[in-house]
Amino acid sequence: MNVDVLISFALATAALAIAPGPDNIYVLMQSLTHGKTSGLATVAGLITGCLVHTTLVAFGISAVIKQSDLLFFGIKLFGAGYLLFLAYKVFKSPADVLLSRDTVPQKSLMQLFKQGFIMNVLNPKVSIFFLAFFPGFLFSSQLSTVLQFYILGLVFMGVSFIIFSGIAFLAGSISTYLKQHQGVGVVLKWLQIVVFVSIAVFILLSEK
């Protein structure tokens, strides 16, 4: 088992979770408007939804890996290309972190959990991202690929849960900081770009 690969995966996941995106911005605003408990309910739903995407990718990609080295190489190319495309989209996007309370209605904790879960499960981009992200971080020649994908999924969920929960607890401080330091958006933007490009290169260089 290559522990260094797992550590690299966890660090990459952390960097992506910290960088502003629709999910963590929604958690931030839900927490800021209705309290940290509402934010945590949203986080729980979002993270639970990742199990569905992990299952789809685990069983689908594992079958491909068993069938053909050429197909697996094709998946690596697709993954690297998709991550470079995401880096390009981030590069073309504005660096400002927009915070708006207008789209944060009051809901019960169960409604927030369900909404977070549905938001995640019905977003095909999550499955595509997992498809691009996970294959390059297989870390063991002894464990089955299905088990490795589930371990990666659990690491992804655990790291994201910790960071998103931190956003929920520190919503007030984070919001104030973002408003007072507009330049932080540029730093986080380039952090995303560097992470996406680095992962793309890592995937291309990874072995089966």
What is the tens place of the pLDDT at every residue in 146-183? 999 999 999 999 999 999 999 998 888 877 777 777 77
Q: Which of 10, 198, 186, 12 is nearest to 87 (CA)?
A: 198
Give the model's pLDDT for residue 66.
Answer: 66
Q: pTM of the full predicted structure?
A: 0.83
Round to whole Å and give the CA distance between 29 and 9. Answer: 28
What φ, ψ does residue 70 adopt, rounded to 5°?
A: -65, -40
Give the model's pLDDT for residue 97.
Answer: 62
Give the model's pLDDT for residue 162.
Answer: 96
Q: Which of the residues in the chain have pLDDT under 70?
A: 62, 65-66, 95-105, 207-208
